[in-house]
Amino acid sequence: MTGTGLRAAPAPTGPPPAPTTGSGEVLPPPAGTLRRILAHPRFMHHHRLVAAVLTGNAVLLAYGWTAGWWREPAALGDAALANVALAVLVRQQYLVNLFFWLATRASTRWPLRIRATLGKVYHFGGLHVGAALAGTGWYLAQLGALTVGDGPVGALVTGYAAAVLLVAVVGTALPPVRSRRHDLFERTHRLGGWAALALLWAQAGFLAGGPAALAVSPQGGVLAVLTASIALPWLRLRRVPVVVHRPSSHVALVHFDHGVTPFPGSSTAVSRSPLWEWHSFANVPTPGRSGFRLTVSRAGDWTGRFIDDAPDRVWVKGISTAGVANIETLFRRVVYVATGSGIGPVLPHLLAGLVPARLVWAARRHRETFGDELVDEILAHQPDALLWDTARDGKPDMLRLAWRVCREFDAEAVICISNRTLTWQVVRGMEERGVPAYGAIWDS
């Protein structure tokens, strides 16, 4: 596929085709008012799950009000603990992988509408957000009931301390705070979450009448499961050697080979200071080889320091976790849309070749930025890839490019890996026109 602004391999022979640009494709109008409403980011499946959890808790609240739960702190505490358990467990890596495994069991012979809905499995974070908000509300209600009812002093002291931490964790996770103060959000979530869990253990012990009574209570069992879930990734903490290749000052290719070869499309969290800061990157295993690669692009202070002062060892933890692109197997043919280092999460799927795919990749001077080896590897698997050089041809209209390639390739779905604005533009634009589309949602 060639034309103005495009690079592909192998090079065409004979007379060049008529110039074609991304902006030259005529987009059809959105399919209808309802489709346009449902495609809006405010109504994405993540927010629908948040609303579903809060609605369920509102129904429970109405029942509790009539049942007199305000005089029974234990009932309020059970509701709080149930929601906190959901918020924590739904983020557990093994459960996340199970969600993806179950969702992708569907056959490609199933109706597209069903498969398209199953593809939204990565919006499960809505359950986390809704349960965290509801759990905090129930916990504050229990604390109020304990205060009015002259509860045990130990339970009140630990309860108020835990409440402060829970409010801080929820507050820093709100999108405006998280986007501007991500380091604060991450550290509050981690350290504040651990401290809150310890205080919940202490308060539960005071309310149960001692450690022995707590150990045989349902609340103790739930807290034990939550503690194990949170501790499990840290039990796999290790410092491993890496080899860093820097094709340009913008990108570092990090090679791992410490006895772990993750599945394509999963992610690994890495750190240079494990208590303070972690960053997740898509794993790029090469079929037939041990180990894997990560693509780190300059996108902030941490990644900038990583590229400029490459380490020879980094910390890794947790379990390799499925990402949005793993839903590709739900479809017969897919189009991948990537910009810049968004090629990292796409590359393992192109190499694995589980589903017929076509790549649209916009970047600044692909070979100079990412290196000849990486670009040649991509083109060896995607000879018809559409590569748009933004330094030469300017900023493309990615929605029009995606629509054009989707029609030419007869794809059933589009998967976009890019920045927030462009991802939402492509996903919303395709879904408004009846094409299932997927991309990161930056949920909290």
Q: Report the CATH number that the domain containing residue 271 is assigned in CATH.
A: 2.40.30.10
Give the residue from 322, 341, 362 where a domain finishes. Answer: 322
Specify whether the CB–CB gap between 277 and 271 falls below 8 A.
yes
Q: Does residue 214 sit in the same domain as residue 242?
A: no
Q: How many CB atoms lie within 10 A of CB 407?
A: 12
Question: Distance (Å, rounded) from C-alpha 247 to C-alpha 367?
Answer: 9
Question: Distance (Å, rounded) from C-alpha 275 to C-alpha 260?
Answer: 23
Crossing angle of helices 125-148 and 153-173, in 10° steps, is 150
Q: Does residue 69 sit in the same domain as residue 178?
A: yes
* pLDDT score of 286: 87
Q: Does residue 212 sit in the same domain as residue 265?
A: no
251 is a domain residue? yes
* pLDDT score of 1: 39
Bond before 383 cis per omega within 30 degrees: no
226 is a domain residue? yes
7 is a domain residue? no
Give the residue from 305, 322, 339 where a domain finishes. Answer: 322
5 is a domain residue? no
Q: Does residue 370 sit in the same domain as residue 381?
A: yes
249 is a domain residue? yes
Q: Does residue 179 sit in the same domain as residue 69?
A: yes
* pLDDT score of 300: 79
Q: Does residue 125 sit in the same domain as residue 223?
A: yes
Specify whether the CB–CB gap between 94 and 321 falls below 8 A.
no
Name residue 40's amino acid. Answer: H
Question: Distance (Å, rounded) from C-alpha 271 to C-alpha 314?
Answer: 6
Provide the number of structural domains found in the chain: 3
* pLDDT score of 253: 93
Specify whether the CB–CB gap between 278 and 309 falls below 8 A.
no
Q: Which domain holds residue 427?
A: 327-439
Specify whether the CB–CB gap between 133 and 174 falls below 8 A.
no
Question: Distance (Å, rounded) from C-alpha 280 to C-alpha 269?
Answer: 4
Specify whether the CB–CB gap between 307 and 249 falls below 8 A.
yes
278 is a domain residue? yes
Q: Does residue 271 sit in the same domain as residue 214?
A: no
Block means of pLDDT (10 residues each) for the chain, 444 residues, are 37 34 67 84 92 97 90 92 96 94 96 97 95 97 92 95 96 88 88 95 95 94 96 92 93 92 90 89 90 89 90 90 94 96 93 95 94 94 95 93 95 95 94 94 71
Q: How many CB atoms lie within 10 A of CB 141?
A: 20
Residues in CB range of 176: below 8 A, 6 or more apart: none
Q: Retrieve residue 197's tokens.
A: 């869990």
Q: Retrieve residue 361's tokens.
A: 């990749």
